[in-house]
Amino acid sequence: MARNKFDIDENLESPFDIRHFRRAMVYIKQQQKPMIIALVLSTLSAAAALSAPLILQHVVDVTIPEKAVLSLLGWSALMLVTIVVSVIFATIRSRIMTRVGQDIISEIRMDLFKHLQELPFKYYDDRPQGKILIRVVNYVNAVSDVLSNGIINFILEIVNLIFIAAFMFAVNVRLSLIILAGLPVFLGIMLIIKTRQRRAWQAVSNKSSNLNAYMQESISGIGVTQIFSREQRNEGIFTGLAANFRKEWITAVRYNALIPFTVDNLATIVTSLIFLVGLLALDPKDVTFGVILAMSSYAARFWQPILNLSNLYNNFINAVSYLERIFETLDEPVTVSDIPGAKELPPVQGDVTFDNVTFAYDPGHNILEDLSFEIKAGESIALVGPTGAGKTTVVNLISRFYNLTGGRILIDGQDISQVTLKSLRSQMGIMLQDSFIFSGTILDNIRYGRLDATKEEIIAAAKTVCADEFIREFEQGYMTEVNERGSKLSQGQRQLLSFARTLLADPRILILDEATSSIDAKTERLLQQGLNELLKGRTSFIIAHRLSTVKNCDRIMYVSDKGIAECGTHDELIARRGFYYRLYTAQKMEA
């Protein structure tokens, strides 16, 4: 559970290896055709640009001494053409790769989102939302350029190096060897810092994730922050997290900066040696001034691909940290899923059986143990008891939001672990404690789980739960736009909309978890009339702390001590004077 804190770094479950990058190649292969075109254009652009020093050498050594004006104009025009061709090809290539990069982003992000939709509740129980969100948005953005332009640029820079080396050796072998003499020094420095550099960027990734998690938590809880005047304290926490991020960022950037610093200095030293050796040590007949100018130009061009490759390496190191996080998310097992050969659950009557059910959120800490009971179709069952006893756990297991530790749950005699999740949940109406409202219209929120519902059916569901009256008070009625989480609505209004959404599905099994906890007494009485009609013929499980709302249920189960401590009608349990009696009496005295 430590990962569910904004100030705890997320350690990777497994170290990065080249197989992760091979996995990323799947997305690259989908863009193979445009990337090949971009590579060809890049090669042509580079070849055109590399011809410029040869033209310069010829002009300095031949054309200018001969004072051939027309020839000079011709060579100048040719150099202009090479520049224009290089720029045009580079521009087209850039546009192609921009589109490729965005397509790769879209594919990775869709795979992540699809996988996150399938992950069980436990995954979200164990992680802050901010640490999940940053992987889908920030990390995918960070790797897209490496997986698109990075691959093309890497190949291009290698080709550039080969071309430049060929041109250099064609001009002068000895000066070419001087240019190559700096490579061993550069490679030695790269080998020394590569491991430290990767670790530094992993630390940046951790601190960025922590900072994002706290930001998301703070925004979600801003109301509580202001109520308790925690602004200054929270600013201190944020400052500390930002300082940690800044510290790790500076460390990582220092490693990055070391590479261009090394390349720039080596290029300067090599260029100086070319002039020194070429002018003082070699025979002027073999090494003309034009040759020295051409070689100094090639020296700069030779070390530019080296610098570009080192920058690509930097970007790769950064991307590795993000790829590790992305693939760690994609590798999260979907523990609650359809088993091979899972059957469609046929239309159910509503019989529910718990057969020696045992469940634990964490190994060794059972919430329920050997729980057994049978519910007949159409019965209404109330689950009551102390907070944390396992009431919500019972209904979550019926919906198969978690896998059982032991035992079976049967619906109409069918083991729910053997049927498809869609066929199971599509026949259940579930209203959880969190009345989540999505951004959009009220109409869209009510029909969220049943897109084929007509407006008349939506209005009928709203009337049943007494939501129609307050909806029509809005100027736009059912077309009123609401914000995420329904911030423009009261908590009671949000619950009524959530109720309408659940009832519109016309489920055979209805689960209401504190469904009326935020509704005033008058509305609750009206709602109860509609509920009484709705519950007829449906199996229903109702969790409520206000016991007055469940008095008329067919059976009341008191959940305690990892099982059902008492079970019976309201009158039977009152006469028994046990757990339920004491709880009911205590609530009446408080009222």
Q: How far is it, in rounded angstroms, from Cα 435 to Cα 428?
A: 17
The domain locations on the chain are: 12-330
Residue 9: predicted pLDDT: 62
Residue 398: predicted pLDDT: 92
pLDDT at 281 over 50: yes
In the structure, what pLDDT confidence band is assigned to residue 2 with cuts at 50, 70 and 90? very low
In the structure, what pLDDT confidence band is assigned to residue 416 with cuts at 50, 70 and 90? very high
In the structure, what pLDDT confidence band is assigned to residue 18 with cuts at 50, 70 and 90? low
In the structure, what pLDDT confidence band is assigned to residue 1 with cuts at 50, 70 and 90? very low
Strand order of the sheet with strand 414-415? 365-375, 352-362, 406-411, 414-415
Residue 91: predicted pLDDT: 87
Residue 345: predicted pLDDT: 92
For 20-70, the pLDDT digits (tens) are 677 777 887 888 888 888 888 877 887 777 777 777 777 777 788 778 778
Q: Do 343 and 420 touch, CB atoms closer than 8 A?
A: yes
pLDDT at 144 over 80: no
Residue 528: predicted pLDDT: 65
Q: Which of 305-321 are b and which e, b meaning 16 or more Cβ less than 10 Å from the residue's Cβ?
A: bbbbbbbbbbbbbbbbb
DSSP state string for 205-253: HHHHHHHHHHHHHHHHTHHHHHHTT-HHHHHHHHHHHHHHHHHHHHHHH
Residue 557: predicted pLDDT: 95
Q: How far is it, in rounded angstroms, from Cα 289 to Cα 148?
A: 42
Architecture of domain 12-330: Up-down Bundle (1.20)
Residues 6+ apart with CB under 8 A from 76: 59
How do the residues of the chain divide into helix, strand and coil, expressed in percent and rounded to 5?
Answer: 65, 10, 25
Residue 255: predicted pLDDT: 83
pLDDT at 546 over 80: no
Residue 261: predicted pLDDT: 81
Question: Tokens at residue 200, please?
Answer: 């530094």
Q: Name the least confident of 120-129, 331-340, 395-404, 444-453.
A: 120-129
CA angle 52, 54, 56 (to 5 degrees): 70
Q: What is the mean pLDDT of residues 446-457?
A: 87
Mean pLDDT computed over every residue of the chain: 81
Residue 13: predicted pLDDT: 47
Q: What is the mean pLDDT of residues 133-157?
A: 75
Longest dimension (CA), the chain: 121
Residues 6+ apart with CB under 8 A from 442: 471, 474, 477, 478, 479, 480, 482, 497
Closest CA to 247 of 195, 193, 211, 194: 211
483 φ, ψ to 5°? -80, 170
